[in-house]
């Protein structure tokens, strides 16, 4: 009787434990459910932007293309940069698509698609002063003001590399391009994709050093660890989009990249 009771308690305990462990969905499970769950932050133009409840951007368009190719419905799952990995590991979404940088730290916990955009740190400046900034030495000198938003990779880069210019902190990242255009600061060092976007959408701004980026990184689509078939399928769909010209069209439309 005691043995039976112990086995029963063990069975209940294991049931509770495994019930609390979210399992990543396989490709077969996604297809069977007829829903592709994509996690996105909605705060990073031009990849993912929550425009009053409607998500827009390059990655949102690619996500819809994935769902269409798989013959399933797209469900966008809100996440944040702080909870990005936890939400993935908790099984809240199948693929993370929000301008996510491929890093070894994330790769240790998950897996990535092939890279789809290569970018790096570069200056965003007023178009009228673009000819003044051709090298890091032109930026890192006394009299130059650099706008920085605390807490991100832009701040880390600036604090590690700027020794002479004045660093001006801004509470909102979105406020810095406006300050550059208005002449309140001279430079914003940011990701090249963001610099291209602002330069293309605001004639008062320019990105003069796109051919000589300070760093090199890639964006990729994030998936649960060991989800090799899903990863292979995502890469396959990306290759199809490249071959058919769909990827180039979306990059031209959203990223202003040829």
Per-residue pLDDT reduced to its tens digit, 89-102: 999 999 999 989 89
Give this prediction's pTM.
0.75
| Closest among 100, 131, 119 to 189, alpha carbons compared | 119
Write down the pLDDT at residue 10.
46
Confidence grade of residue 175 (pLDDT, cut at 50, 70, 90): confident
147-165: per-residue pLDDT in tens? 988 766 788 899 999 999 9
Asked if 40 and 77 touch (Cβ cutoff 8 Å), the reply is yes
- 145's tokens: 């003001």
Burial of 28 (0-12, 13-18, 19+ CB in 10 A): exposed
**Neighbouring residues of 208: CB distance < 8 A, sequence distance ≥ 6:** 123, 125, 130, 131, 133, 134
Write down the pLDDT at residue 164.
97
Asked if 159 and 168 touch (Cβ cutoff 8 Å), the reply is no
pLDDT at 5 > cutoff 50: no
Residue 227: strand, helix, or coil: coil
Confidence grade of residue 20 (pLDDT, cut at 50, 70, 90): very low
For Cα atoms 132, 189, 158, give the angle at the middle one, nearest 5 degrees.
110
pLDDT at 32 > cutoff 70: yes
Q: Please name each of the domains of the chain with its CATH number.
A: 19-118+218-255 (3.40.190.10), 121-206 (3.40.190.10)
Our measurement of the distance from residue 62's CA atom to the centroid of its chain's CA atoms, rounded to an integer in Å, reads: 13
pLDDT at 13 > cutoff 80: no
Q: Which of 37-41, 44-48, 186-190 has the weakest average pLDDT? A: 44-48
């Amino acid at each position: 009787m005691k043995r039976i009771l112990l086995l029963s308690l063990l069975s209940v305990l294991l049931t509770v434990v495994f019930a609390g462990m979210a399992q990543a969905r396989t490709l077969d499970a996604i297809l069977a459910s007829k829903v592709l769950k994509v996690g996105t932050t909605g705060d990073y133009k031009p990849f993912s932007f929550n425009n009053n409840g409607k998500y827009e951007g390059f990655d949102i368009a690619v996500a819809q293309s994935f769902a269409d190719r798989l013959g399933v419905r797209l469900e966008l799952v809100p996440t944040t940069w702080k909870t990005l990995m936890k939400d993935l590991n908790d099984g809240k979404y199948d693929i993370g698509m929000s301008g996510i940088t491929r890093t070894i730290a994330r790769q240790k916990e998950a897996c990535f698609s092939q890279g789809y955009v290569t970018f790096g740190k570069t200056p965003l400046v007023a178009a009228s002063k673009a000819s003044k900034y051709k090298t890091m030495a032109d930026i890192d000198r006394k009299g130059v003001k650099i706008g920085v938003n605390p807490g991100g990779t832009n701040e880390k880069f600036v604090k590690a590399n700027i020794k002479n210019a004045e660093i001006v902190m801004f509470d909102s990242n979105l406020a810095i391009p406006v300050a550059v255009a208005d002449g309140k600061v001279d430079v914003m060092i940011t990701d090249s994709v963001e610099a291209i976007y602002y330069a293309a959408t605001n004639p008062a701004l320019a990105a003069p050093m796109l051919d000589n980026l300070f760093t090199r990184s890639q964006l990729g689509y994030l998936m649960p660890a060991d989800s090799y078939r899903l990863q292979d399928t995502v890469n396959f769909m990306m290759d199809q989009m490249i071959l058919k010209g769909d990827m180039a069209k979306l990059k031209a439309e959203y990223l202003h990249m040829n």
